[in-house]
Homo-oligomer: A and B are copies of this chain.
Amino acid sequence: MSSESFETQRAALADVVAIPVTPFAEDGSVDQDVHRALLRRLLDGGIRTLTPNGNTGEFYALTPQERRLVTEITIDEVGDRGVILVGVGHDVPTAVASARHARELGAAMVMVHQPVHPYVSQGGWVDYHRAIAEAVPELGVVPYIRNAQLSGHRLAELADFCPNVIGVKYAVPDAAKFAAFARDAGLDRFVWVAGLAEPYAPSYFSAGATGFTSGLVNVTPAVSLNMIEALRSGDYPAAMKVWEQIRRFEELRAANGSANNVTVVKEALASLGLCRREVRPPSKPLPESERAEVAAIAAGWSI
Contact = CB atoms under 8 A, between A and B. Distances in A.
Interface of A: 55, 58, 60-64, 90-94, 115-125, 127-128, 131, 147, 149, 256-263, 279-284
B63 A119 contact: no
30 contacts: A55-B118, A60-B91, A60-B118, A63-B91, A90-B90, A91-B280, A92-B281, A115-B281, A115-B282, A117-B282, A118-B258, A118-B261, A119-B259, A119-B260, A119-B261, A119-B282, A120-B257, A120-B282, A120-B283, A121-B282, A121-B283, A124-B259, A124-B282, A124-B283, A127-B282, A127-B284, A128-B281, A131-B281, A149-B256, A149-B257
In the complex, the 6 A-B pairs of residues with the closest C-beta atoms, listed nearest first:
A127-B281, A128-B281, A121-B259, A124-B284, A124-B282, A60-B117
A284 B121 contact: yes
Contacts of A261: 118-119
Given A256-B149, A280-B92, A262 B119 contact: yes
Contacts of A115: 60, 281-282
Contacts of A283: 117, 119-121, 124
B60 A282 contact: no
Contacts of A279: 124
A147 B259 CA distance: 12
Given A125-B282, A128-B281, A149-B257, A91 B62 contact: yes
Nearest to A125: B282
Given A120-B283, A124-B282, A282-B117, A60 B259 contact: no
Given A116-B116, A124-B281, 5 more contacts: A119-B260, A120-B257, A124-B282, A125-B282, A127-B282
Nearest to A264: B119
A62 to B, nearest CB: 6
A115 to B, nearest CB: 4
Contacts of A123: 284
Contacts of A284: 121, 123-124, 127
Nearest to A146: B118
A210 to B, nearest CB: 24
